[in-house]
Amino acid sequence: MNAARLLATWLLALACSVGTILAAAPASAAPTPAALPPLSAADQQRADKLAHGLRCLVCQNQTLADSNAPLAHDMRNLIHAQLAEGRSDAQIMRFFEDRYGDFVRYDPPFKPTTWLLWLGPFALLALGFWVLLRTLKRRSGARPPLTADERARAARFLDTGS
């Protein structure tokens, strides 16, 4: 019974994930490359800069410019279309942030919802350094001198080896 419930839960989670991905990026949302007007050299540079500043939502460790995923291609087409419409870089970034959240940016903004992301590594480093110092301080603390009985045992051990 538990295995069936686990399988049903897993299938439901998978269906929700696929549904979320499909709802987030409908195929008809991105213009086709043939329908896009050509960009000037300056706008093409802006498109490249924007594509390098946005994360591929499929690959997640690549920029849009580096990804070959179909979703990344559609997102690059959206950038191209919005540049052709005359939108600013800030407006385009805001469009993608509104649609996909701060995660889509390769360099998320510093705001209360991302403080942990920005400050977390430094906090963990400081905590590790504090633990290291505390451990070293404990180890290097003054030890009480050996008693006469302990000295005699140590001398016997050194002389006989047992």
Q: Residue 104 burial (CB < 10 Å; 0-12/13-18/19+)?
A: buried
Tokens 């959240």 belong to residue = 101
Range of weakest confidence among 10-14, 59-63, 133-137 = 10-14
Tens digit of pLDDT for each residue in 143-153?
A: 788 899 999 99
Report whether pLDDT(126) > 90: yes
- How far is the C-alpha of 140 from the C-alpha of 44, rounded, in Å? 62
Residue 79 has pLDDT above 80, yes or no: yes
pLDDT number for residue 44: 86
pTM of the model: 0.54
| Cα angle for residues 44, 45, 46 (degrees, 5° grid) | 90
pLDDT at 95 over 60: yes
**Mean pLDDT throughout 124-139?**
92
